[in-house]
Amino acid sequence: MKTVLVTGGAGYIGSHACKALKAAGYHPVTFDNLVTGWQQAVKFGPFEQGDLLDRARLDAVFAAHQPVAVMHFAALSQVGESMQDPGRYWRNNVTGSLTLIEAAVAAGCPHFVFSSTCATYGEQDNVVLDEESAQLPINAYGASKRAIEEILRDFEAAFGLRHVIFRYFNVAGADPQGEVGEFHRPETHLIPVLLDAIDGKRDGLTIHGTDYETPDGTCIRDYVHVCDLVDAHVLGLKWLEEGKASRVFNLGTGQGFSVREVMDHSRTVTNREVPFTEGPRREGDCTKLVSGSTRAATELGWQPHRSTLSDMIADAWRWHQNGHYDR
């Protein structure tokens, strides 16, 4: 069985990726420092605790497991926090990824699948965001991810490390079988925060800004189901194994929803009211991020199956009511 090293495999997206990899016949080995991840989320293969900044630990893990590829999810990923503490984002995301990429090359691991973000595009009014769009991030999170994309290009040129880069739009939902789900402490992402507000686990949702130039004044995002997203990663891995060239793919549905529209859908799915207040804008937020690309469909054959907003909220709600992790 082929081993894949999954950094961040104890986190939200990484744990779903491990499940998809196992189902596709791979052996996922999780590498995670458990700063934001949960050991209980590691259910589909072995666990190696370690930090991306620890090169000796990485070398030992590569030597022990001999992975045929790396899937790199481990990162700090909060836009607002990245504006308050940019050094942490550059150190953890960029220096950490550089250390990982160097370790992969040194170990002779040929393939690298990287979790990037639509935040690398930044604020671009009336522009269709496809993979050829300019990358003009407006927050430190997006800037850190763009830098890692550049590192990957340089390392391919120098050492032949082939890569697939996925630029995610907003990931939502949970494993419909309830084995893994989204669980951040503290939680800042819209759908889980909103579900917390609905069932009284927090006072209410604060809408971060109602004066954006959108039809209802709130930010618009393109939501994609975590299970569809990780399916694309398995396709990306196969793409590399088939010897195809390094490639960038957007992962979104092409449909945008405002914060208020997400609230409306949540009300319908849960049949409960969403307590909320209107607050100021959050630093670093773009007005609208919606994918304008069909590349993942046409080239990878990727078809999202569960990415309607109602399905994503229903899966997140089921997980929210039944699933959680503890330290």
> Would you tell me which residues interact with ligand UDP (CB under 6 A)?
79, 170, 188-190, 193, 205-208, 219, 221, 259, 282, 285
Phi-psi region of 25 (alpha: psi -120 to 50; beta: other; left: phi over 0): left
Q: Which is nearer to ligand UDP, 208 or 225 (CB)?
A: 208
Nearer to ligand UDP, 27 or 282 (CB): 282
What's phi and psi for 67, nearest 5 deg?
A: -65, 145
C-beta atoms surrounding 148 within 10 Å: 22
* Residue type at 213 in one-letter notation: E
Least separation in angstroms between CB 65 and ligand UDP: 31
Tokens standing for residue 125: 């009014």
Name every residue whose Cβ is closer than 8 Å to that of residue 185 and which is 6 or more positions away in sequence: none
Minimum distance from residue 59 beta carbon to ligand UDP (Å): 33
**Beta carbons of 83 and 140 less than 8 angstroms apart:** yes
Among the listed residues 20, 145, 179, the one whose alpha carbon sits nearest the alpha carbon of residue 72: 145
Query: For ligand UDP, which is the closer residue by CB, 44 or 168?
Result: 168
Known catalytic membership, residue 212: no
Cα–Cα distance measured from residue 220 to residue 123, given in angstroms and rounded to the nearest whole number: 12
Q: For residues 199 and 272, is the Cβ–Cβ distance under 8 A?
A: yes
In the complex, the smallest distance separating the C-beta of residue 57 from ligand UDP, rounded to whole angstroms, is 29
Alpha carbon distance 141, 123 (integer Å) = 14
**Are 260 and 214 spatial neighbours (Cβ–Cβ below 8 Å)?**
no
Give min distance, CB of 39 to ligand UDP, in A.
25
Nearest residue (CB) to ligand UDP, 5 versus 172? 172
CB of 300 to ligand UDP, least distance (A): 23
- Closest to ligand UDP by CB, 30 vs 170, is 170
Say which of 141, 168, 212, 223 is annotated catalytic: 141
Cα 129–233–30 angle (5° rounding)? 130
Distance between CA atoms of 318 and 327, rounded to whole angstroms?
21
Catalytic residues: 141
